[in-house]
Structure 1
Amino acid sequence: MRWTATGMLVAMAVLFFSTHALSEGGHPAWGYVNAFAEAAMVGGLADWFAVTALFRHPLGLPIPHTAIIPENKDRIADTMAQFLRENFLTPAVVARRMSGMNVARAVGDFLIASPEEGGDDTRSRITGGAAEMLAEVLESLDPDRLGNQMRSGLASQLQKLDVSPLAGRMLESAMADRQHRPLIDGIVRWTGLTLEDNEEMVKDIIHKRANSVLRWTGLDERISASVLDGLYKLLAEVLVDPYHPLRFKIEEGLEKLAQDLQHDPETRERVEEMKRDLIENPAVAEWWMGVWERIRQSLIRRAREADSGLGIEMRNGLADLGKALASDARLQMQINRFARRTAVGVATRYGTEIVTLVSETVKRWDATTITGRIESAVGRDLQFIRINGTLVGGLVGMTLHFIVSFM
């Protein structure tokens, strides 16, 4: 466009000089042509000077009030920043603009985009970046401090939880559904194994409790063996007989325990005290730190392994989130309200910093940079000014020649 405008100016100059002699003694039409070329040349030169003066000194001459943009770039930067602050980053403008945007629906449509629209690839990039960021965060944070914070949070929630009624209702429900029988079987088996592992201790207790006559005759050993055999037989009978009387006694005890856990203040207080002691026990804290470290290492490993399944789970989660955002009007309203309030808050709190960033960035540009960027942005229109100036000037010159010729 610059070459076009300059070519028109040169053409008008050639036309002016070539028709100057013809206009004085030749056909009257040559006078109009010469007047057109003369005024077009003047108009083109004037607009060339005006356009050039915006960005640089014409012909390198330090003419006053030229190179306007480079000489005033700092003032332009401040004015631009103030314009943005007053007209774009005010809470009212941001809120009005955000009120017409359905951010939640847009995010939902983005997340549920079909494979042909690049949805799977987009979700893969999002989940890949999120997984790597999760791994970096877990590695960068102090594991002991983070583990203690999570333990404190869990302990705080457990302190608020009334465990006793919950345990009582669970036990009562399990017994109503006859799901407590495997528990009784497990207790019986555990009792038998414990007794088997501690036979010598049982024999030693009977030996010490027996009198000297029994020990001298060796009857204490026969008594201890009989006691152990009887206990084993009793446990075996309880295990194989679902209607054994001892089972009913155990069930009665469990039923009473379920009622006491829900309604007896003393039992509930004892359970709460046990819960507090368990939470404050250093051994539990040490156990939790070991569990947390295994969880942390597992999360880091799964986040960095492409075939761990974490990425698939995250992609499925994003797709489900997208469907909810795209279809749930109530959820959209809540998220849009949150987005609007967040944007207004950012504009209110950080609007000055944002426009300061714009101002300081422009100020850091040198004269060549700012001139090149602005001229590139509006360059075609600037050259059209020169072209229009050439044509309009020529028409004005021809009109004036017509008026003068009849005076």
Structure 2
Amino acid sequence: MRLTATVMLVAMAAIFVTTHGLVSAHPAWGYVNAFAEAAMVGGLADWFAVTALFRHPLGLPIPHTAIIPTNKDRIADTMADFLRTNFLTPVVVARRMREMNVARAAGEFLVQRGGGGDGGQGARVLAGAGALVVELLESLDPDRLGLQVKAGLARQAEKLEVAPLLGRMLEGAIADGRHRPLIDGFIRWAGIALEDNEDMVRHMVQQRANSVIRWTGLDARLAESVLNGLYKLLAEMHVDPNHPVRAKVDEGLARLAQGLQHDPQLQAKVERAKNDLLANPALSDWWMGVWERIRHSLIGMMRQPGGAMGGQLGQSLAELGTALQGDPRLQWQVNRFARRTLVGVVNRYGEQIVSLVSATVKSWNPTTITDRIERAVGRDLQFIRINGTLVGGLVGLVLHGLTEVL
């Protein structure tokens, strides 16, 4: 566009010089010469104006030229003030955010591109998310990360009052009868343990029998009777859900649930046991092993975005997107959270953002800012030169015609 405007200006100058000596030959040449003269003047004037914005015309230090590089710092302050006034104020941000449905837009994106089933955008989203997680897990120190996770869990566990929580859980399980399968399992385990240790039980009974019973040989029969009685008791407890021993167990568990919730001494014992467990080095070693297995499993699954983990992640993202699209209450909550978050960021960091913009522009050298602005609007500025040439020529043509008529 710059070349086009320059060629037009040179052409008008050439026409003006060529037709200057032909004006007396025919009246039409007067019009041509007037058009070329006025077009040349208009093109030169607009060339000067456009050039003066960015540099000194012909390198001459004419006053009020090279406006942009000379006023670079003032432009930076003006841009920062414009940004502060029109964008980075809590009121403006809140008003803009109320007009936007961020949740629904995010839901549409997740449904269309998050599922990964199209092999295009969705697959790239999942692959990018997987690669990001893998790089994060591999770049961080595994031992330090595991210790930090363990320390965070330990801090939360230390704040948590375990006894009342266990008491409520136990009370709810007893009320719903969810503890009965555990008791059944314990009874079966006790029967298996008794069967595997019959010889030990016989020996214990015989050792505790007095010498008379051992001399008469009744100790063996006594041991068998004890074993048979234990087997009978376990069998009756297993088949009869209302067995008296079961009732005693339920009563004891109920007292334990109440004690865990309301007995300060029992609660203190549970807290001490919890703290001892958290301080045990064996627990730390166990957790580090578990963490390493979890980390390697996550890395392996994330490296296969088309596998189970990728499919689950894609399905979860699609389900989240559907919920965001169709649930007005969820949209309202997400939009409110986004609005409050962005308003808080602007309120807290707005001045820093504005200062960053101003400082960045001020740090540019004059050539940089001139080139960037000229690349952005230079094409339209060259149109101004072209239009100035044409409009100037038309004005000259009209003026010449008026002088001829008058």
Residues 352 and 262 (structure 1 numbering): CA distance in 2 closer, same or farther, change over 3 Å?
closer
The correspondence of residues 49-64 of structure 1 with structure 2, limited to 5 A, is 49-64=48-63
Q: Secondary structure at the match of 1:22?
A: coil
Distance in structure 2 (CA, Å) of the matches to 1:243 and 1:352: 73
Pair 1:277-2:272 in alignment: yes
Task: Please state how far the C-alpha of 1:402 moved relative to its aligned partner.
Answer: 2.3
Deviation at 1:252, TM superposition (A): 2.7
Q: How does 1:108-147 map to 2 (within 5 A)?
A: 108-113=107-112, 115-116=117-118, 118-133=121-136, 136=139, 139=142, 141-147=144-150
Distance (Å, rounded) in 2 between the aligned partners of 1:232 and 1:284: 42
Does 1:348 pair with 2:343?
A: no
1:390 aligns with 2:389: yes
CA contact (8 A) 1:123 1:315 kept: yes
SS of 1:112's equivalent in the other structure is: helix
Could you tell me the percent identity over the aligned residues? 42
Greater shift after overlay, 129-138 or 302-311? 129-138
Does structure 1 retain, via aligned residues, the 8 Å contact 2:102–2:335?
yes
1:183 aligns with: 186
Q: 1:311 and 1:193 mapped to 2: Cα distance? A: 48
Deviations 1:93-122 (A, max 9, x none): 111111111111111111111644622332
Q: CA deviation at 1:360?
A: 1.9
**Equivalent residues of 2:236, 2:243 under 8 A apart:** no
The question of 1:8 aligning with 2:11 is answered no
Counterpart residue identity of residue 59, structure 2: G
Q: 1:164 to 1:270 in 2, by over 3 A?
A: farther
What is the alpha-carbon distance in structure 2 between the residues aligned to residue 301 and residue 265 of structure 1?
39
Aligned-partner Cα distance in 2 for 1:126–1:318: 12
* CA pair 139-264 structure 1, distance change in 2 beyond 3 A: closer
Q: Secondary structure at the match of 2:63?
A: coil
**Equivalent residues in 2 for 1:143-158, closer than 5 Å:** 143-158=146-161
> Normalising by the residue count of structure 2, what TM-score does the alignment of the two structures yield?
0.85
User: Are residues 1:297 and 2:292 paired?
Assistant: yes
Going from structure 1 to structure 2, the CA distance change for 1:45 and 1:278 (only over 3 Å counts) comes to same
How many Å apart are 1:33 and its aligned residue?
1.2
2:69 counterpart letter in structure 1:
P
> Which of 191, 214, 217 is the aligned partner of 1:219?
214
Q: Aligned AA for 2:312?
A: E
In the TM superposition, residue 291 of structure 1 has moved relative to its aligned partner by 4.1
Contact 1:47 1:385 in 2 (8 A): yes
1:300-327 CA-to-partner distances (Å, cap 9, x unmatched) read: 2122112584444333322221121111
CA positional deviation for 1:224? 5.7
Equivalent residue number for residue 74 of structure 1: 73
Count of aligned positions? 398
CA positional deviation for 1:136: 4.7
Question: Relative to 1, partners in 2 of residues 1:137 and 1:105: Cα closer, same or farther, differing over 3 Å?
Answer: farther
| Alpha-carbon separation, structure 2, partners of 1:37 and 1:243 | 115
Rounded Cα–Cα distance in structure 2 between residues aligned with 1:2 and 1:99: 45
Deviations 1:215-240 (A, max 9, x none): xx893795665554333333333455
Separation (CA, whole Å) in 2 of partners of 1:243 and 1:17: 121
Contact 1:12 1:37 (C-alpha < 8 Å) held by counterparts? yes
Call closer, same or farther: CA 1:99–1:265 in 2, change over 3 Å: closer
Alignment check: 8 A CA contact 2:167 2:259 kept: no
Q: Which runs of 5+ in 2 are unaligned?
A: none
Matches within 5 A, 1:172-251: 173-174=176-177, 180-191=183-194, 193=196, 206=208, 210=210, 214=211, 219=214, 225-240=220-235, 248-251=243-246
* Preserved CA contact (<8 Å) 2:171 2:257: yes
Distance across 2 between alignment mates of 1:137 and 1:336: 33
Q: Distance in 1 between matches of 2:3 and 2:262?
A: 97
Moved more, 220-229 or 299-308: 220-229
Does residue 161 in structure 1 map to residue 175 in structure 2?
Answer: no
Residue range with higher mean Cα deviation, 386-395 or 285-294: 285-294
Q: Retained in 2: the 8 A contact 1:12–1:41?
A: yes
Q: CA RMSD in A?
A: 3.4
Query: Aligned in 2, Cα 1:133/1:35: closer, same or farther, shift over 3 Å?
Result: same
Contact conserved, 1:8 with 1:390, CA < 8 A, in 2?
yes
Find the aligned partners of 1:266 and 1:35 in 2 and give their Cα distance. Answer: 104
Distance (whole Å) between structure 2 residues aligned to residue 230 and residue 284 of structure 1:
47
> 2:322 is matched with which residue?
323
Q: Hey, what's the Cα distance between the residues in 2 that align with 1:266 and 1:11?
A: 99
261-270 vs 3-12, which moves further:
261-270
SS in 2 for 1:281: helix
Give the C-alpha shift of residue 142 in structure 1: 4.9
Query: What is the rounded CA distance, in whole Å, between the counterparts of 1:48 and 1:284 in structure 2?
Result: 81
DSSP-derived class of the 2:64 partner: coil
* Structure-1 separation of matches of 2:236 and 2:74: 97
Alignment partners' CA distance in 2, 1:123 and 1:83: 39
Structure 1 residues without counterparts, runs of 5 or longer:
none
**Would the alpha carbon gap of residues 285 and 224 (structure 1) be closer, same or farther in structure 2, given more than 3 Å must change?**
farther
Show the counterpart of 2:252. Answer: 257
Distance (whole Å) between structure 2 residues aligned to residue 81 and residue 221 of structure 1: 108
CA distance in 2, matches of 1:190, 1:172: 29
8 Å CA contact retained: 1:148, 1:289: no
Change (3 A) 1:227 1:272: farther
What is the SS of the residue equivalent to 2:112? Answer: coil
Give the whole-Å Cα distance in 1 for the aligned partners of 2:68 and 2:166.
Answer: 74
Distance in 1 (alpha carbons) for counterparts of 2:125 and 2:216 = 78
2: CA distance between counterparts of 1:225 and 1:200?
9
Name the SS of the counterpart of 2:22 in structure 1: helix
